[in-house]
């Protein structure tokens, strides 16, 4: 049913055009045969569940499958008119924006600095990368331990500055813990890509730039940053998808299976209503709304943003 949501597009890393060579297949069926596994996966794991979700979004169904009532768009109107849905949607927007920009920004800063390190650079890099190996629920668990209202060291730390954090009670504090944990978890991925992107910039370009301009800051913004744009665009998409979908584990662990007055994302709400509350119709309607949102987001990304990215 809702599994379709968990499938998202992983854009291929852009390959410079001149590398590709025109190849002709002997038989006209071979390309289709080669595509078949991919198409089968998309159909079974995305198209079919998506169609099921669309269908059940128009019904209110007894979870055991004994009865159902066709309700038209009622599931959608119920959802969109509830005070809570708006709040969850707003939080999702803010959360996604913060997680994406903070994890990209901090990772870029770290990558630029690490790129300049000459001695012991592999130690630094390893230290910055290891978090990548931590699974999201484990990251959430570490976050919960650090931010625990009774024993969390970070809570004690912030208390020294007069901030009495109460995760699970205060909406802002809980959001803060979620964003920090999600950003912390994502920085290494971005760091790895940015670092390899930086190392791909040829020395001659950099040397030419340093002859022309003394300001390191200006050199970065006018030369390095545009050259990193393809990597940046790729990471932007990856990070938005991450903040939208992959933070599920972190949120689940932080709210401890009890949403209460805690911030949750749209994806987590689909799970809450569908798998915790057995409201299949309502949950499917939310999935359909999410699918539409992801669809629009993808179009925006590729139509508007990618045009501004120049591949060398």
The contact set with another protein (CB under 8 A) reads: 60-69, 71, 78, 82-84, 149-150, 166-171, 256-262, 272-273, 275-279, 281-282
User: Smaller CB distance to another protein: residue 57 or 190?
Assistant: 57
User: Considering the complex, what minimum distance in angstroms separates the CB of residue 243 from another protein?
Assistant: 23
Nearer to another protein, 79 or 187 (CB): 79
Alpha helices in 28-82 (DSSP H): 30-42, 48-56, 74-81
The distance of Cα 19 from the centroid of its chain, to the nearest Å, equals 30
Least gap, CB of 182 to another protein (angstroms) = 20
Shortest distance (Å) from residue 33 CB to another protein? 33
Q: Which is nearer to another protein, 70 or 225 (CB)?
A: 70
Choose between 1 and 228: whose C-beta lies nearer to another protein.
Answer: 1
15-31 burial code (b ≥16 CB/10 A, e <16): eeeeeeeeeeeeeeeee
Tokens of 64: 């055991």
Is 218 or 256 the residue whose CB approaches another protein more closely?
256
Least Å distance between CB 5 and another protein?
17
Residue number with CB closer to another protein (66 or 161)? 66
What's the sign of the alpha-carbon dihedral 191, 192, 198, 199? Answer: positive
Q: How far apart are the first and last CA of the chain?
A: 42
The structure tokens 């854009």 sit at 11
Q: Cβ 36 to another protein, closest distance in Å? A: 28
Contacts of 162 (CB under 8 A, 6+ apart): none
Residues 9, 10, 13, 14: what is their CA dihedral angle, to the nearest 10 degrees? 10
Report the C-alpha gap between 80 and 203 in whole angstroms.
54
Residue 294 Cβ vs another protein, minimum distance, rounded to whole Å: 25
Write the DSSP symbol of residue 18.
G
């Amino acid at each position: 049913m809702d599994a379709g949501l968990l499938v998202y597009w992983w854009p291929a890393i852009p390959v410079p055009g001149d590398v590709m060579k025109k190849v002709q297949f002997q038989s006209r069926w071979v390309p289709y045969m080669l595509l078949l596994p991919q198409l089968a996966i998309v159909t079974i794991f995305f198209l079919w569940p998506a169609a099921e979700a669309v269908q059940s979004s128009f019904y209110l169904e007894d979870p055991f499958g004994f009865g159902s009532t066709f309700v038209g768009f009622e599931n959608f109107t119920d959802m969109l008119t509830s005070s809570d849905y708006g709040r969850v949607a707003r939080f999702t927007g803010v959360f996604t924006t913060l997680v994406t920009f903070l994890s990209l920004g901090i990772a870029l800063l770290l990558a630029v600095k690490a790129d300049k390190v000459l001695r012991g650079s592999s130690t630094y890099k390893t230290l910055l990368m290891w978090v990548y190996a931590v699974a999201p629920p484990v990251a959430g668990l570490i976050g919960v331990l650090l931010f625990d209202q009774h024993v969390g060291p970070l809570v004690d730390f912030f208390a020294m500055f007069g901030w009495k954090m109460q995760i699970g009670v205060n909406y802002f504090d809980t959001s803060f813990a979620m964003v920090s944990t999600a950003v912390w978890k994502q920085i290494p991925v971005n760091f790895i890509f940015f670092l390899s992107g930086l190392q791909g910039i040829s020395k001659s370009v950099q040397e030419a730039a340093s002859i022309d301009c003394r300001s390191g800051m200006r050199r970065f913004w006018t030369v390095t940053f545009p050259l990193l744009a393809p990597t940046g665009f790729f990471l932007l998409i990856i990070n938005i998808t991450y903040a939208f979908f992959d933070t599920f584990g972190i949120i689940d662990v932080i709210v401890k299976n009890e949403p209460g007055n805690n911030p949750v994302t749209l994806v987590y709400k689909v799970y809450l209503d569908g798998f915790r509350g057995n409201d299949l119709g309502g949950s499917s309607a939310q999935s359909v709304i999410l699918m539409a949102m992801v669809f629009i987001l993808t179009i925006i990304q590729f139509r508007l943003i990618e045009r501004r990215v120049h591949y060398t």
